Chains A and B, each alone.
Chain A
Amino acid sequence: MMVNGSEERLPGVDMTLDAFLKHKGLEAGSVVVERNGDVVERSRFGAVLLDEADQLEILRFVGGGA
């Protein structure tokens, strides 16, 4: 699996996106996720089963302006 541009092994079988975020120490409410180029709505984090072929982008808001 590719996560934010780095290769990573799925830490378990039948792992949901929600469980993966917890495993990474992330609060689901503080991130947004793109899976294989499509936005995953937060309400679906618990329903999405991850696959070794998945490409994930996990982002969060940071300071920025002009």
Chain B
Amino acid sequence: MEDCFEIGGKTLASRLLIGTGKYPADGMIPDVCGASGSQVITVALRRVDFASETDNVMKHIPDHMVLLPNTSGARNAEEAVRIARLARAAGCGDWIKIEVISDQRYLLPDNLETTKATEVLAKEGFQVFPYMNPDLMDARRMVDAGAAAVMPLGAPIGTNRGLRTREMTQILIDEISLPIIVDAGIGKPSQACEAMEMGAAACLVNTAIASSSDPVSMGRAFGQAVTAGRAAYLAGPGATRTLASASSPLTGFLGQGRA
């Protein structure tokens, strides 16, 4: 049986979500999409800068990718709602990742404002993906507000520090019925693999891929890691124990007397 990922009204084969920020050249985005196997990609919305000619990131995104615009830049629920409505007006679907951040040092999400925005946008028919600090009660509020998934951070955005929130994220995985997508902070494929082994539904990785010296190869490695971790989760790990347990027979050694 194929392990499909149902989310936001779509069925996906890949459980890796990627971003479009920080690449040395946006022209490599199609190759990263291809190598990673990812089918979902995030973008941000910003004021047009009339003073400088900026490249249009959209022309580098392959047609088959599902767009997940984020509300980065929003400092409260009201701004996130405004950005979400603008993103939908661009005609790229109804998925929205809520990012409400008022802390500029750690870029930590504001769970309260994020929940408020989730409620408004879910009622307007958006598929809402809230980026959040992994707190069980807040996650439950996001479920009640109509979220399509819950996206706890592994570590602060762009830090490549891995699953610093492991214990709290595991609680969300165990207690929340919606898909848990680990978002932000994952720095290496092994960390994405671990999140998937823990039972996360998917991982979102941008900086670790884009800031690698070979983003295309790193994208491929993340795709493989997420697939491996998911397969391990489905297979179920064997029990751990303190003392050794031989995996070869303990009989028939050389030099033993005949029984």
The yes or no verdict on A and B being binding partners is yes
Q: Which of A5, A30, A34, A64 has the most CB of B within 10 A?
A: A64
Interface contact B44-A39, CB-CB below 8 Å: no
- Name the residue of chain A whose CB is nearest to the CB of B86: A32
A-B contacts counted at CB < 8 A amount to 99
How many chain A residues touch the partner (CB < 8 A)? Answer: 23
Interface residues of A in 1-46 (CB under 8 A from B): 4-5, 24, 26, 30-32, 34, 37, 39-42
| Interface band, chain B | 35 or more
Interface residues of B in 24-74 (CB under 8 A from A): 26, 42-48, 50, 54, 56-58, 69-70, 72
Please name all residues of chain A whose beta carbon is closer than 8 Å to the beta carbon of B47 when the two chains form the complex: 4-5, 57-59
CB of B114 closer than 8 Å to a CB of A:
no
Interface contact A63-B20, CB-CB below 8 Å: yes
Interface contact B43-A42, CB-CB below 8 Å: no
CB of A62 closer than 8 Å to a CB of B:
yes
B residues within 8 Å of A by Cβ?
18-23, 26, 42-48, 50, 54, 56-58, 69-70, 72, 82, 85-87, 89-92, 131, 157-158, 183-185, 204-207, 210
A residues within 8 Å of B by Cβ?
4-5, 24, 26, 30-32, 34, 37, 39-42, 57-66
